[in-house]
Amino acid sequence: MDAPRLVAHRGYAAHYPENSLCAMREAVAAGARCLELDVQLSADRVPVLLHDADLQRVSGRPGRVHELEWSDLRHCSIGEPARFGQRFADEPLPALAELVCWLEGQPGVCLFVELKSESIEHFGADTVLQRVLAVLQPVLGRCALISFHAETLARARHYTRRPIGWVIRRWGLAARETAMALRPDYLICNHAKIDDALWPGPWQWFLYEITRPEQAWHWWRRGARWLESMDIATLLKDPRLAQEPCDGL
């Protein structure tokens, strides 16, 4: 790589509801070639695009995703009323299958799929992996699985040869030891947590939340090869950061 690869964090989430189909479409329209999204399971084990286990922040209504079936969730708005008022009131909660259907028509766009800890703890790693991988199958060659849950990523190797990325919750020796034991393809961390050199290992460093082009180049020089932002268009204002098609991870 002669420049960092950029990843749209929950799509173009700075200006559109996070994890919505419109946030994904607008990120690609802005020039993103890699997207990141969060997946939870509904009560009937349908993978949906949602960061939180509850609906209050993105929908303005009570309820937990694990307690509601897809037939109820599909009519739920994720327009983030606290941020956007009624501007995106008609933006529905998407099933992962809907995103996959759209992605099939987007060659050159790859996907980092975060398996959320709440779903893993509620349904078990095997159920989450089986359900998500089944839906991703048409585009699996362009996908990587990521999670804070190292044990689930280790289990993922029993189901697929796709790359895995471990998200570091707390920087320190314990995290470094976990990384060395797991040996993920990507080691993912909020750049603000890093207080020394990036650890060498059999992984590529993937940092978030990057907000400015000069910040992107700073971390590139320090060894990070993947950089994630909710404001992908701001990074892409630097022509040196223009992204080539991503045909596989």
pLDDT tens track for 27-83 = 999 999 999 999 999 999 999 999 999 999 999 999 999 999 999 999 999 999 999
Residue 196: inside a domain = yes
Reduced to 3 states (helix: H, G, I; strand: E, B; else coil), residue 124 is coil
What rounded mean pLDDT belongs to the chain?
Answer: 97
Q: What is the largest CA-CA distance in the chain?
A: 48
> Domain holding 47: CATH number?
3.20.20.190
Give the count of domains, the chain: 1
Q: Is residue 149 a part of any domain in this protein?
A: yes
What residues have CB less than 8 Å from 2, skipping those under 6 apart? none
pLDDT on residue 182: 98
- The answer as to whether 249 is a domain residue is no
223-226 long-range contacts, Cβ below 8 Å, gap at least 24? 223/197, 223/198, 224/4, 224/191, 224/198, 225/1, 225/4, 225/5, 226/4, 226/5, 226/6, 226/7, 226/34, 226/186
Percent composition of the chain: helix, strand, coil (DSSP 3-state, to 5):
40, 20, 40
For the residues 193-216, what does the mean pLDDT come to? Answer: 96
Looking at the domain assignment, is residue 247 inside a domain? no
> For position 76, what pLDDT does the model report?
95
Considering the domain boundaries, does residue 186 fall inside one?
yes
When pLDDT is cut at 50, 70 and 90, the band that residue 110 belongs to is very high
Residue 38 counted as domain residue: yes
Beta-bridged to residue 204, according to DSSP, are 186
User: Which pLDDT does position 160 carry in this prediction?
Assistant: 97
pLDDT at 248: 87
In a domain, 248, yes or no: no
User: Left (φ > 0), alpha (ψ -120 to 50) or beta: where does 124 sit?
Assistant: left
Average pLDDT over every residue of 210-235: 97
Domain interval for residue 235: 5-241
Whether residue 115 lies inside any domain: the answer is yes
* Statement: residue 98 has pLDDT above 90: yes
Neighbours of 183 (CB within 10 A): 13
